[in-house]
């Protein structure tokens, strides 16, 4: 376990605080903003009622927002953002998580997780996420106790539980709390409030673990995960900035892009570069999915959920 103390001034406080990033001049507040701000005020009270918190921290939109609000509400000494490191966690997301933590003075603890060596997880069943999250919380909860934190939180929001989310059961079983879900925060709320606070993840595309690119029943291996990560990194290097998934179908990579970028990459000159980048990561064949990006598309293909 690696402990990284918070940055900031001589008092160890945050280098940036969300409340201080609010506009200082009068501005028109939309009804959506008014609702979101009211939820944030309730969240601040909820956090203060619990005193100190450890947060499962991925550097995604939700956990970044929750960690930044927690530091504002409780002070850095009463917050730990715990990152679970494994082959399923993209390096670029780790870098983003550390950047946000440094920017807002969020204390970070890193722990290694070992879900790949759990045969129940590696077999990639439809409830794979349950075993992954069970492993994560088994590592995070002892750290939270050792650091003197009262409760453990995750970044689940009110929109998340509408789909196939077996990992949520692991959190409930282990007593992990989900204040964003409990208080009714939507993803739109979190993006809006993150933007107001200057949290750079506000516009970040969703980025679930790399294993989500593998069809159920295809074994999760470090080699497959590395190939997927390399392919997505290569496509980002070409300039793709929106939603992106490289779905692993054996020697075939099925690439999903957001609709705002799909047409551009269908042109012969651009598609050739895309194909070369993905093949360079180790795939023999590449198909650009004409339907574009769909969150959970592999769940639909295997009948776990419906479109």
- pLDDT tens digits, 88-140: 999 999 999 999 999 999 999 999 999 999 999 999 999 999 999 999 999 99
Query: Residue 269 in contact with residue 249, Cβ under 8 Å?
Result: no
Answer whether residue 215 shows pLDDT above 50. yes
Q: Sheet containing 53-56: which strands, arranged edge to edge?
A: 2-4, 108-112, 79-85, 53-56, 151-153
Give the Cβ contact number of residue 41 at 10 Å: 10
> Of 22, 148, 178, whose CA–CA distance to 74 is shortest?
148
Amino acid 302: pLDDT: 53
Higher pLDDT pick, 18 / 194:
194
Answer whether residue 162 shows pLDDT above 50. yes
Amino acid 238: pLDDT: 97
Q: Mention every residue, 6+ apart, whose C-beta is less than 8 A from residue 75.
A: 13
CA dihedral 84, 88, 93, 97 (to 10 degrees): 0
Answer whether residue 18 shows pLDDT above 90. no
Q: Is the dihedral of CA 296, 298, 304, 305 positive or negative?
A: positive
Q: Which domains does the chain have, with CATH numbers?
A: 2-203 (3.40.50.620), 210-301 (no CATH)
Higher pLDDT pick, 297 / 253:
253
Amino acid 298: pLDDT: 59
The separation between CA 299 and the C-alpha centre of its own chain, rounded to angstroms, equals 19
Answer whether residue 2 shows pLDDT above 50. no
Answer whether residue 305 shows pLDDT above 70. no
Output the CA–CA distances (angstroms, integers) from residue 235 to 142, 221, 229, 268, 291, in the order listed: 38, 22, 10, 16, 18
**Dist CA 101 CA 109 (whole Å):** 11
Answer whether residue 13 shows pLDDT above 60. no
The model's confidence at residue 28, banded by pLDDT at 50, 70 and 90, is confident
Answer whether residue 5 shows pLDDT above 80. no
Amino acid 15: pLDDT: 39
Instruction: Tell the residue number behind the tokens 């060596």, with chain if given.
Output: 117
Amino acid 8: pLDDT: 41
Answer whether residue 200 shows pLDDT above 90. yes
**Dist CA 305 CA 216 (whole Å):** 13
57-96 pLDDT, tens digit each: 999 999 999 999 999 999 999 999 999 999 999 999 999 9
What's the mean per-residue pLDDT of the chain? Answer: 90
Amino acid 165: pLDDT: 86
């Amino acid at each position: 376990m690696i402990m990284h103390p918070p940055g900031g001034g001589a008092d160890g406080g945050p280098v940036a605080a969300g409340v201080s990033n609010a506009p200082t001049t009068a501005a028109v507040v939309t009804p959506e903003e008014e609702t979101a701000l009211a939820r944030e005020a309730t969240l601040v009270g909820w956090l203060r009622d619990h005193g100190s918190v450890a947060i499962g921290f991925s550097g995604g939109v939700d956990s970044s927002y929750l960690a930044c609000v927690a530091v504002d509400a409780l002070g850095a000494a009463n917050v730990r953002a715990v990152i679970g490191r494994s082959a399923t966690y993209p390096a670029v997301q780790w870098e983003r998580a550390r950047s946000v933590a440094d920017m807002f003075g969020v204390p970070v603890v890193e722990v290694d997780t070992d879900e790949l060596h759990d045969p129940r997880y590696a077999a990639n069943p439809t409830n794979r996420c349950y075993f992954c999250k069970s492993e994560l919380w088994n590592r995070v909860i002892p750290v939270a106790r050792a650091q003197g934190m009262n409760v453990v939180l995750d970044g689940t929001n009110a929109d998340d539980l509408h789909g196939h989310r077996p990992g949520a059961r692991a959190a409930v079983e282990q007593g992990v709390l989900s204040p964003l879900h409990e208080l009714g925060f939507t993803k739109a709320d979190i993006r809006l409030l993150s933007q107001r606070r200057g949290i750079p993840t506000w516009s970040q595309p969703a980025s679930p673990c790399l294993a989500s690119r593998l069809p159920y029943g295809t074994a999760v291996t470090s080699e497959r995960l590395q190939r997927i990560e390399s392919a997505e990194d290569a496509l980002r290097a070409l300039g793709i900035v929106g939603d992106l998934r490289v779905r692993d179908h054996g020697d075939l990579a099925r690439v999903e892009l957001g609709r705002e970028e799909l047409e551009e990459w269908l042109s012969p000159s651009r598609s050739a570069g895309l194909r070369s980048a993905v093949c360079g990561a180790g795939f023999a064949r590449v198909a650009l999915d004409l339907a574009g990006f769909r969150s959970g598309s592999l769940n639909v293909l295997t009948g776990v959920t419906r479109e």
